[in-house]
Amino acid sequence: MASASRTTIASAAAGVALFGGAAFVSAPTTRTGNLRASVSAATPASAPVSGLEASTAMAVAGTAIAAFASRKASAANRKHQLVALTAFENELGVQAPVGFWDPAGFTADGSTENFARRRQTELKHGRISMLATMGYITPEITGKFPGYLSPSAGLKFADVPNGLAAISKVPAAGWGQILAYMAFCEVSQDQSAGTPAAAGDFGFKVLTASDPEAKKTKLAAELANGRLAMMAIIGMFFQDGLTGSAWGDWANYTASPLRAFENELGVQAPVGFWDPAGFTADGSTENFARRRQTELKHGRISMLATMGYITPEITGKFPGYLSPSAGLKFADVPNGLAAISKVPAAGWGQILAYMAFCEVSQDQSAGTPAAAGDFGFKVLTASDPEAKKTKLAAELANGRLAMMAIIGMFFQDGLTGSAWGDWANYTASPLRAFENELGVQAPVGFWDPAGFTADGSTENFARRRQTELKHGRISMLATMGYITPEITGKFPGYLSPSAGLKFADVPNGLAAISKVPAAGWGQILAYMAFCEVSQDQSAGTPAAAGDFGFKVLTASDPEAKKTKLAAELANGRLAMMAIIGMFFQDGLTGSAWGDWANYTASPLRLANGRLAMMAIIGMFFQDGLTGSAWGDWANYTASPLRAAREM
């Protein structure tokens, strides 16, 4: 880094004074309202629905569901409910690969006035940030101006340090000039909504252009550069504030609470110094040393315990007696947790006595060798400092691994009776009761994200399975009730001769609810009750498992029956999803097939902006797929629809 101090924040601000707030202009923007008007003018409202409308209607159908509750709002209110994307997706700054990105939802109200105000603010912040960033970078490359910044104060440009430190060096008159120029930029031109200055055009054609396309390209680049500069300058401020240099020389950040420990034992690649819980955030070396001592002890005990699990499996056990007085042989003591109940009281006494000896036999107070884990056993350490450091680092790493390993062994041993986790031994697993049940199908397997089976209750599982079967069957019948009349037509004759109601008079779908006579509903309810009470469906009965004796859907052969019931479950699950979708489509459009033209109450279908709304959604998709809002199909070589498109 150059020894001479570099340019000042004041010089960055001076750059602002030269050309900052006025060197950029903004291209005219296309608002949805304008687009709607132009498209409406070009295409009469009575024009037939275009292919674009038909294709893009599917893209917005999901959004329409969320707006269903408010479909009775007045047309005047609905005009303010345009999807925010349609208002702003073609604005400057919408760039690949993110596209229109507003995770905070600032544009959710669809207000073009609010968008224009935020865009104006974004432009100003971006420009100031670009100048400030250059104010950091330029002096590092070119050096500073010769001569005096303030002759009266005897202050040279070279005397002003680079970065935040310059704040204290700039004289009061300099701050006055900076504030005066900022005020001039704000009040010298009319920046009210709709003016060129509001869009960032202060009349300087150097960085923009008279040609609209060239101007649009340059302004899009300016927005992108400004966003990058806003991120960069904030990063520089942090680095400068922490290290005294915008380039973040870590060696200068002597106050970092992490620096006390970054060269300690246990800091190993690739993680480096890793303390996600923030135990070292207080920077206390005493606390660190105490935790390191504890970590060493836990690691050593865990390594011994892990070896205690593994060694007998390989070498076998000691010959002879563990306790001659109790007649207990080593071979009689099982491996793992089960040994706890076999060790005699005298054995536990010996273990505790040895632990106490290790704790009190040496001084482990802060700063002593024992506090650092050195108990004088030169097998695990060394007289050579470097060799000792390497071995202790390896011991720490092995101890950490052993702590993870022994906890895993405890769980496996406790659950399965073996440290090696033989799943077949874990007969009490709440998952094992259901992993071979009907409905467990590839590729998901046993899937219960809500944890309904976590209690392991087979009774609760059987009750839910019975309910699932019934819902699936009703949904399959309901789905077929939607589909069949569309294909085969309806029954001839009368549904209710007394009421003069023909089958043909009953509409398909939800609209039929109001047409079915009271006696019809009575028959439906009576049949449902018959199905529920005609057979014993208590736990353990065939009916509880879904077998009502109809051998068409089941079978006498157990394997064939299992296959059919598994297929029924899968079809029932699909039907439950399908019928809910049909209900929504029917409720919104009057047809289970979701004819968008029938959804006249949709808040997305503004009376004068219908075609524009559909067009802009189509442009969004076309732009994302082809790189052009006009959807040059030749650019979308990966489309599976190209064959159909080109027919």
225 annotated ligand binder = yes
What does the radius of gyration of the chain's CA atoms come to, in whole angstroms?
38
Residue 401: phi, psi to the nearest 5? -60, -40
Q: Are 511 and 591 in contact (CB under 8 A)?
A: no
Full DSSP string of 274-310? --TT-TTTT--HHHHHHHHHHHHHHHHHHHHHHHHHH
593 annotated ligand binder = no
**Strand residues in 46-147 grouped as ranges (E):** none
Residue 502: closest CA among 513, 491, 511, 510? 491
Residue 489: closest CA among 503, 510, 475, 501? 503
What tokens were used for 422? 């033989």
227 annotated ligand binder = yes
Residue 13 exposure: Cα atoms within 13 Å on the Cβ side: 19
How far is CA 243 from each of CA 66, 87, 231, rounded to the nearest angstrom?
51, 44, 18
End-to-end C-alpha distance for the chain, whole angstroms: 65
645 annotated ligand binder = no
125 annotated ligand binder = yes
Residue 24: closest CA among 285, 287, 218? 218
**Strand residues in 264-402 grouped as ranges (E):** 321-323, 328-329
532 annotated ligand binder = no
80 annotated ligand binder = no
How far is CA 590 from each of CA 19, 167, 361, 580, 597, rounded to the nearest angstrom?
61, 68, 86, 14, 10
What tokens were used for 205? 């054609």
Question: Distance between CA atoms of 511 and 482, rounded to whole angstroms?
Answer: 11
Total length of the chain = 647
Q: Pick out the residues of the known binding site for chlorophyll b.
A: 127, 186
Q: Pick out the residues of the known binding site for chlorophyll a.
A: 101, 122, 125, 222, 225, 227, 239
Q: Pick out the residues of the known binding site.
A: 101, 122, 125, 127, 186, 222, 225, 227, 239
